[in-house]
Amino acid sequence: MENIHIDFLNTSQTISIDIPEWCPHCGRNTSPSLVSKSRSQDTLRKDFARFAVTYRCSYSDCKKYFSVEYSVHPNNLSTSIKTYSYRPPIKVNLPQNIEKVSPDFVEIYGQATVAETEKLEQVAGVGYRKSAEFLLKDFAIYKEPSKQEKIKTMPLGQVISTYFSDFPKIQTLAKAISWIGNDETHYIRKHDDKDIQDLKRFILACAQFIASDYDFDEALAFTSSN
Same domain? 65 vs 146: no
Q: Three-state DSSP class for 151?
A: helix
Please report whether residue 87 resides in a domain: no
Q: Which domain holds residue 159?
A: 98-207
Helices (H), 46-191: 98-101, 103-117, 121-143, 148-153, 156-163, 168-185
- What share of the chain has pLDDT > 90, as a percent? 60
Total count of domains within the chain: 2
Q: Specify whether 74 is located in the same domain as 127.
A: no
Is residue 118 situated within a structural domain? yes
Domain presence at residue 160: yes
Residues 44, 143, single domain; the answer is no
Q: Which helix (H) or strand (E) holds 69?
A: strand 65-72
- Mean pLDDT across the chain, nearest whole number? 88
Question: Which has more pLDDT, 72 or 116?
Answer: 116
The predicted pLDDT at position 105 comes to 97
Tell whether 102 and 158 lie within a shared domain.
yes
User: What pLDDT does residue 14 have?
Assistant: 77
Residue range 104-143, pLDDT digits in tens: 999 999 999 999 988 898 899 999 999 999 999 999 999 9
Asked if 142 and 62 sit in the same domain, the reply is no
In sequence order, which residues have a C-beta less than 8 Å from that of residue 122 and are 6 or more positions away?
Answer: none
Distance (Å, whole) CA 68 – CA 14 = 18
Lowest-confidence pick of 55-69, 83-97, 165-179: 83-97
Residue 135 Cα distances to 63, 98, 126, 132, 179, angstroms: 47, 9, 14, 5, 16
Pick 50 or 219 by higher pLDDT.
219
Q: Does residue 180 lie in a domain region?
A: yes
* 93 falls within a domain: no
Asked if the model's pLDDT at residue 216 lies above 70, the reply is: yes
Do 44 and 104 lie in a common domain? no
Residues 58 and 147 in one domain: no
Do 103 and 71 belong to one domain?
A: no
Domain identity same for 139 and 110: yes
pLDDT, tens digit (0-9, with 9 covering 90-100), for 33-55: 999 888 765 554 555 678 889 99
Greater model confidence, 195 or 76: 195
Position 88 in a domain: no
The per-residue pLDDT for 72 is 78
For residues 104 and 138, the answer to whether their CB atoms sit within 8 Å is yes
Q: Say if residue 44 is in the same domain as residue 128.
A: no
Query: How many whole angstroms separate alpha carbon 174 and alpha carbon 226?
Result: 35
How confident is the model at residue 132, as a pLDDT? Answer: 97
Give residue-wise pLDDT tens across range 160-201: 999 999 999 999 999 999 999 999 988 888 998 999 999 999
- Global pTM value: 0.68
Q: Are residues 73 and 118 in the same domain?
A: no
Final residue belonging to a domain, choices 19, 53, 81: 81
In this structure, the answer to whether residues 139 and 111 fall within a common structural domain is yes
Name the band, by pLDDT with cuts 50, 70 and 90, for residue 75: low
